[in-house]
Amino acid sequence: MAGFRLLVGLGNPGAEYEDTRHNAGAQWIEALARMSQCSLRSEKKFFGQFGKVFIGGQECYLLIPTTYMNLSGKAVQAVCQFYKISPQEVLVVHDELDIAPGTIKLKKGGGHGGHNGLKDIISKLGNNRDFGRVRIGIGHPGHASQVASYVLKKAPSDEYQKIEQTIDESLRYHQDIVADNWNSVMNHLHSFKA
């Protein structure tokens, strides 16, 4: 079957992390759930907020791990095992330091680029890197030593708006993204700038 069955938005749980740069992936899934009129519920066996939704006639699972970021793979692994989902059918939405706020990129496979959520998912999927990624640009603080505090802070309002616009724009194409019709949307999304 073509397309992604499990859509995962990365972030940290708790009010203090809401709307921080590191939670951009979770925001994307929350927005998709609202659009699809799907209520995400806390699901202990999946270590996260979980929901089922039909996108383009296909049943998909939405997941926001409620483990901390560096344990995201535990939640992804639990859902994959339960529903027999292969790594190739997983789409992970996450914040990306290497691209500017207001930009978004789609990618399949690759390394973790130092992202602790991706690192844990890769290891829990048996070192399989073949899942899809929606990378939401948050920009880089300029020095590696500043990354940890930078991702856990809220972006200034102009940057935050750009991140939100990027999420909104990409969600206009959510059916193509989920169905893996990336060729039709990649050119537009990769050249989009909020």
Which residues carry out catalysis?
A: 22
Q: Which residues have a Cβ under 8 Å from the Cβ of 188 and sit 6 or more positions away?
A: 173
Q: State yes or no: 70 annotated in a binding site.
A: yes
Give the distance, in angstroms, between the CA of residue 139 and the centroid of all CA atoms in the same chain: 16
Residues 49 and 175: their CA atoms lie apart, in Å, by 21
CB 53 within 8 A of CB 62: yes
Long-range contacts of 107-113 (CB under 8 A, 24+ apart): 107/132, 107/133, 107/135, 108/132, 108/133
Q: State yes or no: 68 annotated in a binding site.
A: yes
Residues 88 and 23: their CA atoms lie apart, in Å, by 23
Q: State yes or no: 173 annotated in a binding site.
A: no
Annotated binding site for tRNA: 17, 68, 70, 116
